[in-house]
Amino acid sequence: MFDRRLRCLALVLFTTLMSGLASTRLHADVAGSSDYASFQRFPGATIVDYRQEPSTVYNLPLGRMQRAAGTVAPSRAERFQGHLRRITYEIPDGFPASEVFEFYREQLLSQGQQALFTCQGRGCGSSNFWANDVFGNRILYGPETNQYYLASTYQGVSDESPVAGYAALYVVTRANRRMYAHIDFLELPAPLAAEQREGLNTTPQALEQRLMRERNVVITDLMFDENDELVNDQGIELIVDVMRRNALLEVYVVGHLQDSGSLAELQARSEQRARLVMERVAAAGIDADRMQAHGLGPLAPTCRPGPCGQRIELVLQP
């Protein structure tokens, strides 16, 4: 009788212990999944969704989600074709979303990579659109105040070969307090990736050489919000350094903008952006007579490198 009671007590204790562990630990990684190349997962995170889409057309959101003409879409996006890898992590309890976002952000922006657009909270717009229309994963839907997003360039190693492309990072805390981090990695074909890297113009010398060689360059470290205000102005310093290196250099500062609105409105807005850049460069000590601001709106839709739907371009004056 005593042995039977002891066995029953042991079984109850074992069941209670296992139930407690099951309630506190996350699920194992989904079958066939893996971390991407050299990127590390947040400590304790597990992969709950993993997909690959070879040779797919991908729209990279570069603006907040907003409603226009009855539909919700990013205020700015660029289209690319490449190999897409999608990884969704469930994050263990007890960590703030800002810490998780910063953990992945630091990895994506290492080795001189560039943030193309970032937002958080209501500044990102509709979480429902991010979850279902952008990433195709409904578990990413949560309150709009609990979301973070980053679009960036990236480079790494995949299958022991160097790769480059774009990444989209999204961190959200659902209403049930579960937190998820999702990353889209878009690998570009090697020639296109090399062309895009060449066009980043990360030093004054590289920018000047390309401007003199090709007579026009896109300044990739400039970003505007929907009110045409500069939210990333790192490219200003690069322009200033180039103009100082070559005191005889005279340029057109040309704004480009693909967005909703009439041609006249877009041309006016793009010229306003170009003029703002020119004023910032002049404020840094460059003679304003060496620059002229112009706006083309959507009239020059292509460029190298992408993304270039909204951009500031330097064009060498004759």
DSSP output for 104-132: HHHHHT-TT--EEEEEEGGGG--HHHIII
Using CA atoms, how far apart are residues 152 and 119, in angstroms rounded to an integer?
A: 12
> Model's pTM, two decimal places?
0.66
| Type and span of the H or E element at 53 | strand 46-61
pLDDT score, position 40: 93
Using CA atoms, how far apart are residues 92 and 102, in angstroms rounded to an integer?
A: 16
Mean pLDDT highest for which of 33-47, 58-72, 279-293?
Answer: 279-293
The share of the chain scoring above pLDDT 70, in percent, equals 85
Mean pLDDT to the nearest integer, 39-64: 92
pLDDT score, position 197: 61
Other beta carbons within 10 angstroms of residue 72's beta carbon come to: 14
| Partner residues linked to 49 by β-bridges | 88
Query: Which range (40-49, 107-116, 190-199) has the least confidence?
Result: 190-199
Q: In a 10 Å sphere around its CB, with 0-12 CB exposed, 13-18 middle and 19+ buried, how is residue 241 labelled?
A: middle
* 271 close to 229: Cβ distance less than 8 angstroms: no
Using CA atoms, how far apart are residues 60 and 166, in angstroms rounded to an integer?
A: 8
Using CA atoms, how far apart are residues 168 and 149, in angstroms rounded to an integer?
A: 7
pLDDT for residue 10 is more than 70:
no
Placement of tokens 């993304």 in the chain: 307
On average, the pLDDT of the chain sits at 85
- Tell me the pairing of strands 251-257 and 179-187: unpaired
Q: What is the pLDDT of residues 120-173, one digit of tens each?
A: 999 999 899 999 999 999 999 999 999 999 999 888 776 677 778 899 999 999
Angle at 98 between CA 95 and CA 103, to 5 degrees: 85
Question: Band of the pLDDT at 222, cuts 50, 70, 90?
Answer: confident
pLDDT for residue 191 is more than 80:
no
Look up residue 307 and give its DSSP letter.
Answer: P
- Write down how long the chain is: 318
Angle at 173 between CA 86 and CA 73, to 5 degrees: 60
pLDDT score, position 19: 41
Question: Band of the pLDDT at 201, cuts 50, 70, 90?
Answer: low
Among 190, 222, 220, smallest CA distance to 305 is for 220
Q: What is the pLDDT of residues 261-271, one digit of tens each?
A: 999 999 999 99
Using CA atoms, how far apart are residues 36 and 76, in angstroms rounded to an integer?
A: 27
Kindly list the structural domains of the chain, giving each domain's residue range(s) and its CATH number in brackets, ordered by start: 27-193 (no CATH), 199-316 (3.30.1330.60)
